[in-house]
Amino acid sequence: MSEVHHRYDRTAVSGQITQPPFTELVDRSRRRAHHIRNTRLAIVAAFLVLTPGVLLALPGGNAPNSPVALPTTSPPAWNAFEITVEFFDIRYGVAQYPGQSCGGGWISVTQDGGKTWSKLRALPRIPDPSNQPEDGSDGDAGCVRTAVVLAAPDTLVIPVTYPQSGPDGGSAFISHDSGQSWQMYQPRVRAAVSVPDGIVPQWRCDERPCKEEGLGWYDPGAGDWMVLRNQPPWVELVGVSVAFDGSMWVLGSGRDGSGEFQLAVSRDRGRSWVDRTPTVDIDWLAHAGLVTAYDGNTAYLFPMSDTAKSDPFSLYRTTDGGKTWHPQMAAQQFKDVVFVWANRQGGLSVADLKRNQYLTTDGGNSFAPTTMPVWGASPITGGLQGWPIDVAAADPVDLYLSEDGLSWQPVEIPYYQRSQCRVGSTEILPESFVACGSARRR
């Protein structure tokens, strides 16, 4: 849905993605878009649960950076849903592979939209001094599970939060060479007047203290956590939708955490905010409102999917920056809508639980059936990221990238060992990973 950003968990595939040729992957994806969509709902349910990612960070002092020695253990053969993929924009992305114990792991990066990926690069293993085993050994209890964040092209941050840490304690890790080397540092929290172009603001975690701290992002240079000086007019933030023109639409659940729906818009990258909470009486709005935005004037408001009720789909549209909202009656013909996204041409795509797709180019007055290789999409800088409409037939495509939300390029995630590959050992060096070409469905 629109509140889900670009962190994405899905079964990734094996081998170097330059084989087969990228053009062949494009042709395959177009052919698959016309096949029968009959993937089991159990797979879909697991996919949807594992999509969101949690960003963790820690403020601190100003100690100098120090280099980090990387572990030398070999990577395992990863199982389904273990690989986390994050794209900063439609070119720069990172795939993260977990270690066999907590902490550490490996990453592979792409700088060309997933056409090619780097060799596996080891992550530092991060100790947790508050949770060391009593015998003093370096066991699993004494480390922290990590999540790599793309702060900018080529700049990666590993935010770390220790339970005992206060606002002036703790460390994090930063890399300015796409993960080839890492430095430990103590990030600070600093205020900023506006969000830089190309940055999608987040909050550091999903807990109340992070929400109270407000929207922010990692400074690509120093790695500090930058917090907007002027925050949206409430505390409990729920989601951020960044439009194609850079305007930001932020959802909240009340100034005091009461759960009441709130909506604010900024057209100047967070320098100022206007409260645009709808005044119309919408029964589902208090607990399940979502927004997808085209620009600072046009956006769509709709309910979170509830497949247990199967009510007619409710869609509202604004063209005056949220001052007024008007129901789009043509959308009521749909049920069980699970994905809604705007495209760069001003249209709106709707997809239901049965993978039927519809497109409106007149603001929701009418819809026409359409066919695309993606089932759903979420915004990233410069475009959108989408997920295969047929999960079972997606091999070797694991996700899609698009500049306009209409035409899509497939992306194959490297270094995934399928069960068909019959990998004989769990101790496999990065150069030993091979493509399971004979196991791929054609």
Residue pLDDT, tens place only, 280-295: 888 777 666 889 999 9
Q: What is the dihedral of CA 22, 27, 29, 34, to 10 degrees?
A: 180
Task: Give domain 7-439's CATH architecture.
Answer: 7 Propeller (2.130)
Nearest to 399 by CA among 90, 158, 77, 99: 90
Q: How far apart are CA 200 and CA 218, in angstroms?
A: 10
**Contact in structure between 202 and 215 (CB atoms under 8 Å):** yes
Res. 211: pLDDT tops 60: yes
Residue 10: pLDDT band (50, 70, 90) is very low
pLDDT at 374 over 70: yes
Sequence-distant (6+) residues with CB within 8 A of 167 are: 59, 189
Category of 299 on φ-ψ map: left (φ > 0), alpha (ψ -120 to 50) or beta: beta
Task: Round to whole Å and give the CA distance between 169 and 377.
Answer: 38
pLDDT at 90: 94
pLDDT value, residue 65: 54
In sequence order, the 6+-apart residues with CB closer than 8 A to the CB of 197 are 246, 269
- Asked if 143 contacts 132 with a C-beta cutoff of 8 angstroms, the reply is no
Please choose, from the candidates 381, 376, 407, the residue with its C-alpha nearest in 3D space to the C-alpha of residue 244: 381
The residue behind tokens 């990221």 is 385
**Contact between residue 126 and residue 143 where contact means Cβ atoms under 8 Å apart:** yes
- How far is the C-alpha of 89 from the C-alpha of 153, rounded, in Å? 8
Q: Over the range 164-179, which residues count as b (16 or more CB within 10 Å of their CB) and which as e?
A: eeeeeebbbbbbbebb
Checking if the pLDDT of 436 tops 60, the result is: no
Neighbours of 407 (CB within 10 A): 11
d(CA 327, CA 379): 24
Taking the mean position of all CA atoms in its chain, how far away is CA 350? 19
Which pLDDT score, from 0 to 100, does residue 280 have? 82
Please give the angle made by the CA atoms of 375, 378 and 381, to the nearest 5 degrees.
140
pLDDT confidence of residue 420: 43
Say yes or no to pLDDT of 134 above 50. yes
User: What average pLDDT does this structure show over 173-178?
Assistant: 95
SS3 278: coil
Distance CA 39, CA 386 (A): 17
Task: Tell me how far apart the alpha carbons of residues 368 and 322 are, in angstroms, rounded to a whole number.
Answer: 26
248 touches 11 (CB < 8 A)? no
Which segment of 59-68, 94-103, 165-174 scores lowest on mean pLDDT? 59-68
pLDDT at 261: 82
CA distance 129 to 110: 34
124-134 average pLDDT score: 63
Q: Which string of DSSP letters, residue by residue, matches 1-70?
A: -TT--SEEE-----S-TTSS-HHHHHHHHHHHTTS-----HHHHHHHHHH------------PPPEE-PP
Q: What confidence score (pLDDT) does residue 331 get?
A: 95
Residue 279 pLDDT grade (very low, low, confident, very high; cuts 50, 70, 90): confident
pLDDT in tens, 292-327: 999 999 999 998 877 667 789 999 999 999 999 999
